[in-house]
Amino acid sequence: MTTTRGPTRDDATARRLLEAAGPVFAERGYRDATVREICAAAGANIAAVSYYYGDKFGLYRAVLREAHGEVRRRHMSGVPGDAKPEVQLRAWVEGFLRKLLDPERPQWLPRLMMREMVEPTAALDEVIEESIRPQFDQLAGIIGALTGRAKAGRWVREEAVAVAGQCLIFRHCPVVLDRMLGVKMTTAAQIDELADAVSARVLRGLEPERGVRPARPKAGAKAVARGGQKRGGVRS
Amino acid sequence: MTTTRGPTRDDATARRLLEAAGPVFAERGYRDATVREICAAAGANIAAVSYYYGDKFGLYRAVLREAHGEVRRRHMSGVPGDAKPEVQLRAWVEGFLRKLLDPERPQWLPRLMMREMVEPTAALDEVIEESIRPQFDQLAGIIGALTGRAKAGRWVREEAVAVAGQCLIFRHCPVVLDRMLGVKMTTAAQIDELADAVSARVLRGLEPERGVRPARPKAGAKAVARGGQKRGGVRS
DNA sequence: ACGTGTATAAAACACTCGTTTGAATGACGA
DNA sequence: TCGTCATTCAAACGAGTGTTTTATACACGT
């Protein structure tokens, strides 16, 4: 137990390891990150990882666990719960994009989560339940409020995926987008413009659904909501 | 030279290596893929990689080069160039989604390109120019035709990014989406529905721009096109 | 039949990785 | 002062990596 003792400088190295490991894991990926590099960055000995976290993966999970709190705490706030749904959507998109792209925030955090999504490890479940799902449900709630549809329904969740996809692509393949757009999306002003464009586009995409359906008060709401006109394609 | 000789069975192993390496690189990633596993899958000796391709990265680049032709050839066709822009968009989206998700096609190919986009290697440039940009430009052309804006302009390209983002997320983090939507997007019918949903959503998002701007014949078109109403957000 | 050069094979090489070992350090209580 | 125990450290271990080496098998022109 490292915590039974008093506030000696003992756990200082454990913390230094934790904080040094985040950027390294994010930069190189779990597999390519070496404990030697992490320990060097933390100013600790190689054996410290095994000593404090059992093994490399234990350190990795500790980093993710630490990150969840940060991510969720920062984002869930910032979306005014009592504002109009349109304003909430704009706030959600901007908060999400800032978290993904803002250079004034620690870049390694969303980068680490991206790696976990693209190439899952055994720690993915925790990431989903602790960090992704809450934010996703929040977005689904906003879209549900915008359209009057059930936020747990398939239609709303697919729309939410579309919104997330438009944002995540900027984190998933920034190099490619730089080449396609000719601009890096980094400065706060650019992120703001991007949030404008995305939320406006999403609102337009939701337009035929907004208001046309009166928000049902209570019972049978789900059945009515899902009974709307079928999702229509271009063809036929 | 292996090709100067007649059609002996010599270069057969080189081809077997090439074909075996694709799935392995896609599954494990460049770094985690081992030449031993590739050679075992190809039924070749360990030294064959060095012998035919110089080193591991040479084999990797050969795989990518071989893949470009396939990808581009398959996709660029399939979008009828003389149809209405709406139909072209629907065809582009479906073709893109099929390439990304259709289980009846070799899964390793888009998976490999995804890895290259998310975690670029020295081979990224070639991938962009040979495979990504042509498809992206095609999409931008369709959106330009839909809105009457310059397809090389910033606005059109950002819209194209949004379309690509809605599709790519299904390939970038399928595990997360399975959990969020409760369904795997794999069967041909599901891909078809998805293509309907995406293209319809995109068309709605483009709605205020369609038709309102008469397609300028020739000169000064770009200046006029970019002089339209500013991209408006929710706020203010 | 012989020499030549290509293709395959097994083994080894040099290196890096995560992890473990065993000793040294230093603070703290008895 | 001594013993205890958590902590740190350098060194090494064993497994796995890409690559090279050395030797063998075989087809071909002469």
Residues A193-210: tens digit of each pLDDT? 999 999 999 999 987 665
Tokens of A176: 């490619």
Instruction: Indicate the pLDDT class of residue B235, thresholds 50, 70 and 90.
Output: very low
3-state secondary structure of A152: coil
Look up the protein residue whose alpha carbon has the minimum distance to the C1' of C16.
A34
Mean of the per-residue pLDDT values of chain A: 84
Could you report the per-residue pLDDT of A158-203, keeping only the tens digit for each?
A: 999 999 999 999 999 999 999 999 988 889 999 999 999 999 999 9
Instruction: Indicate the pLDDT class of residue B59, thresholds 50, 70 and 90.
Output: very high
Provide the percentage of residues in chain B whose pLDDT is more than 70.
81
pLDDT at A11: 65
Look up the protein residue whose alpha carbon has the minimum distance to the C1' of C10.
B45
**Cβ atoms of residues B147 and B206 within 8 Å:** yes
Partner A contacted by B198 (CB < 8 A): yes
Partner B contacted by A1 (CB < 8 A): no
- We report the CATH number of the domain holding residue A199 as 1.10.357.10
Amino acid residing at B150: A
Tokens of B84: 């209405």
Mean of the per-residue pLDDT values of chain B: 84
From start to end of A42-112, where are the E strands? Answer: none
Q: Between the CA of B32 and the C1' of D13, what is the distance in angstroms?
A: 23
With CA atoms as reference, the chain B residue closest to A135 would be: B180
pLDDT at A77: 67
pLDDT at A76: 67
pLDDT at A219: 44
| A106-110, A177-181, A186-190, B3-7, range with greatest mean pLDDT | A177-181
Q: What angle do CA A20, A22, A24 make, to 5 degrees?
A: 75
Nucleotides of D under 7 A from a protein CB: 6-12, 16-22, 27-28
User: What b/e string do you get for B121-143 counting C-beta neighbours within 10 Å, with b at 16 or more?
Assistant: bebbeebbebbbebbbbbbbbbb
- The answer to whether the CB atoms of B128 and A179 lie below 8 A apart is yes
When divided into structural domains, chain B yields a total of 1
Distance, in Å, from the CA atom of A106 to the CA atom of A222, rounded to the nearest integer, reads: 41
Tokens of B85: 């822009």
Question: With 50 as the cut, is the pLDDT of residue A224 above it?
Answer: no
Question: With 60 as the cut, is the pLDDT of residue B133 above it?
Answer: yes
**A 131-190 residues with CB < 8 A to B:** 132-133, 136, 154, 157-162, 164-170, 172-173, 175-177, 179-183
A51, burial (CB in 10 Å: exposed 0-12, middle 13-18, buried 19+): middle
B54: left (phi over 0), alpha (psi -120 to 50) or beta: left
**Cβ atoms of residues B215 and B148 within 8 Å:** yes
Distance, in Å, from the CA atom of A164 to the CA atom of A185, rounded to the nearest integer, reads: 16
**Cβ atoms of residues B127 and B64 within 8 Å:** yes
- The answer to whether the CB atoms of A159 and B232 lie below 8 A apart is no
pLDDT at A230: 41
Distance, in Å, from the CA atom of B179 to the CA atom of B182, rounded to the nearest integer, reads: 5
- The DSSP output letter for B43 is T
Distance in Å from the first CA to the final CA of chain B: 68
Instruction: Indicate the pLDDT class of residue B81, thresholds 50, 70 and 90.
Output: confident
Better pLDDT: A218 or A18: A18
Domain that holds residue A140: 65-210
Residues 6+ apart with CB under 8 A from B71: B99, B109, B110, B113, B131
pLDDT at B210: 59
In a domain, A50, yes or no: no
Distance, in Å, from the CA atom of B200 to the CA atom of A232, rounded to the nearest integer, reads: 7
**Cβ atoms of residues A132 and A112 within 8 Å:** no
Question: With 60 as the cut, is the pLDDT of residue B200 above it?
Answer: yes
Provide the percentage of residues in chain A whose pLDDT is more than 90.
70
Q: What is the mean pLDDT of residues B173-194?
A: 94
Amino acid residing at A152: A
**Cβ atoms of residues A35 and A28 within 8 Å:** no
E strand or H helix at B176, and its extent?
helix B174-181
Instruction: Indicate the pLDDT class of residue B209, thresholds 50, 70 and 90.
Output: low
Q: Between the CA of A44 and the C1' of C1, what is the distance in angstroms?
A: 70
Contacts of B172 in chain A (CB under 8 A): 117-118, 168-169, 172
Q: What is the mean pLDDT of residues B91-120?
A: 93
pLDDT at A75: 64
In a domain, A27, yes or no: no
Indicate yes or no: strand D within 7 A of the C-beta of A197: no
Better pLDDT: A116 or B222: A116
Q: Which of B52, B53, B15, B22 is nearest to B38 (CA)?
A: B22
In a domain, B167, yes or no: yes
From residue B133, give the alpha-carbon distance in Å to each of A71, A132, A183, B146, B201. Answer: 34, 31, 15, 20, 23
Question: With 80 as the cut, is the pLDDT of residue A236 above it?
Answer: no
Q: What is the largest CA-CA distance in chain A?
A: 73
Partner A contacted by B202 (CB < 8 A): yes
Instruction: Indicate the pLDDT class of residue A151, thresholds 50, 70 and 90.
Output: very high
Instruction: Indicate the pLDDT class of residue B68, thresholds 50, 70 and 90.
Output: confident
Could you report the per-residue pLDDT of A74-101, keeping only the tens digit for each?
A: 666 678 878 899 999 999 999 999 999 9
Q: What is the mean pLDDT of residues B80-86?
A: 88
Question: With 50 as the cut, is the pLDDT of residue B217 above it?
Answer: no
In a domain, A155, yes or no: yes
Q: 């339209």: which residue's tokens? A: B228
In a domain, B120, yes or no: yes
Q: Which of A57, A31, A60, A56 is nearest to A119 (CA)?
A: A31
In a domain, B156, yes or no: yes
In a domain, B17, yes or no: no
Could you report the per-residue pLDDT of B13-31, keeping only the tens digit for each?
A: 999 999 999 999 999 999 9
Least confident range of A1-15, A75-89, A122-136, B167-181: A1-15
Instruction: Indicate the pLDDT class of residue A228, thresholds 50, 70 and 90.
Output: very low
Look up the protein residue whose alpha carbon has the minimum distance to the C1' of D26.
B10
pLDDT at B230: 41
